[in-house]
Amino acid sequence: MSTPADAPSGTPGSSPDQPIDSPKDWVKEHIDRYLATDGKDGHEWNGTTALLLTYQGAVSDLWRRTALIYGQLGAAFALVASKGGAPADPAWYTSLVAHPDCRIQVMGEVLDVTARTASADERAAIWPIMTAQWPAYDDYVEKAKAADRVIPVVVLERR
């Protein structure tokens, strides 16, 4: 994992240990609760489970953190880059494509992982796992189709 060349060590965004949290208030509050309790408050969220993803920005190279719904795939993890069915992929997905080495926190466990986009066959196998976690993903697919976008599924594998 690299450090942005123009970010002094110890400043927000300079490393995965000093990420910039989501600017959305409700996500930032979720992250704060998750971190303060090692996920005891925040892992279970609205009837599903969430992890914290720390990733390096595709353009800025700054490290950022967000909370996302995830699915368990044996020793690996899955994320859906839905952005609610919007016409464009979420920034975190674009960033993972550019910089696949990232970090997750699941409850109190912090793991360095590598992200990759699931193949079409993998996506087909993973999709039911993810819609069991969050049924609205099927609705997001319909919205994304209007923009000719296929919602990516991301597989995170331990390094």
pLDDT for res 10:
74
pLDDT for res 5:
58
pLDDT digits (tens, 9 = 90+) for 43-101: 999 999 999 999 999 999 999 999 999 999 999 999 999 999 999 999 999 999 999 99
| Side chain identity, residue 20 | I
List all residues 6 or more positions away from 134 whose beta carbon is below 8 Å from its beta carbon. 48, 69, 80
Whole-prediction pTM: 0.93
* CB-based contact 84:151 (threshold 8 Å): no
Q: What angle do CA 129, 158, 90 make, to 5 degrees?
A: 60
Phi, psi angle pair for 153, to nearest 5°: -110, 135
pLDDT digits (tens, 9 = 90+) for 132-154: 999 999 999 999 999 999 999 99
List all residues 6 or more positions away from 142 whose beta carbon is below 8 Å from its beta carbon. 85
User: What is the average pLDDT value for the chain, to the nearest integer?
Assistant: 94
List all residues 6 or more positions away from 150 whose beta carbon is below 8 Å from its beta carbon. 144
| Side chain identity, residue 27 | V
8 has a pLDDT exceeding 80 = no
pLDDT for res 7:
61
DSSP secondary-structure letter at 150? P
CA distances from 88 to 69, 92, 144, 153 (A): 19, 12, 8, 14
